[in-house]
Chain A
């Protein structure tokens, strides 16, 4: 006879872990690879395009970042980015698109509390924690 899961908190936690389905890691990784790669490829295309127009490299990098941030913010406002994020997970969250989304989404959510106490003070609530990940990514 197995131990009764209700005997202790540890045995209950173990029992619950066995009962709880895991996230589909393999397919999540594949989706993330696909979408993350696509976002990077779009960035590269913008970069190459700017270079053909004779813009210097540093400015090209800036244009890439600005374009991706704009696209992500725009899709967030259209209530589309969450659907991409649901499919792609880290694939859309780790690139700079996720950082933009993590600022724009609370800004929309907390607009009801006003522009100063709502948007102003709450728009970085998610980004503060995710910025560490984003910064880490930028360094890499």
Chain B
């Protein structure tokens, strides 16, 4: 049995992250992490006619790029796990249709990136696959169109709102390779703390991030200080503050080595992104760009990545339903 403790799993044969790729949009290019991204696109449409087609292109080009970088031909990739925020995951399916790799479209809201990597790692460790492609994406304009208001509408964003990242990140996982390795994972439970404000997703997800973090640490018997860095996906400033504080009440101090991908991708003051970045592409691009390169540079040797998702759609919020959160964690070590 690979299960340890309540809901964490140790991979018998750690799965290697052979390579990553990330392509982001213009706003991310202006952000502090721009030098870590493989490509920054200046045009949000990327030459396409619709936002949705542009997002598909981000998926397609990022996937092609990671395949090229890894040196593993597409014919030798057994599965592809990918997802995004747009209805029925069309950005992923349209973006990956030409690749001819068996495809699983997945949805975990903004936690999709880690979800795809967990599923990829499971299929490799379970001997179902040798190489797996994992990808997730989001696009500010297509997300605003689907979840909020038209872009040209003259309204104000509250201080708690977050800015959906335009971009895609992809990884190639393999049975063979020299790491960094996915060693443990803790899939998250759905946690609903009754938050209903669609403009304040961080706190809705913070409770689930806390649940996954504490469970992971208890299951593995590790302390937060075991990790060089702990990253959450897109809790933003408010969510990060809450997670820091609530972890302390549970007896874990994570303040010194914890950060949030949504916070580091943008410069809050200069870029007017309020509580930070969000979206599937946030965690995906920050991990595939920044964190992965920091691991290769040996700055980080052990990291815990917790991608957080708000399980909602535009109808449920209008119907007054609360926003349940989910958070999946993977432990990546060299």
Contact = CB atoms under 8 A, between A and B. Distances in A.
B158 interface: yes
B159 A6 contact: no
Given A12-B193, A16-B195, A16-B200, A85 B156 contact: yes
B154 A81 contact: yes
Contacts, number: 97
B163 to A, nearest CB: 13
A: contact size bracket: 35 or more
Interface string A1-12: 000111001101
B152 interface: yes
A126 B153 contact: yes
Interface residues of B, number: 31
Contact of B151 (A15, A28, A93, A105): A105
Main secondary structure of the interface of A (DSSP, over half): helix
A86 interface: yes
Contacts of A134: none
A81 B150 CA distance: 12
B238 A109 contact: no
A27 to B, nearest CB: 11
A92 B203 contact: no
B2 interface: no
B49 A22 contact: no
A16 B154 contact: no
B150 A9 contact: no
Contacts of A4: 249
A109 B154 contact: no
Interface of B: 49-52, 145, 149-160, 192-195, 200, 203, 207, 210, 238, 241-242, 246, 249, 322
Which 5 residue pairs spanning A and B have beta carbons closest together? A85-B154, A9-B194, A109-B150, A105-B152, A105-B150
8 contacts: A6-B207, A10-B194, A21-B238, A82-B154, A82-B155, A85-B154, A112-B49, A112-B52
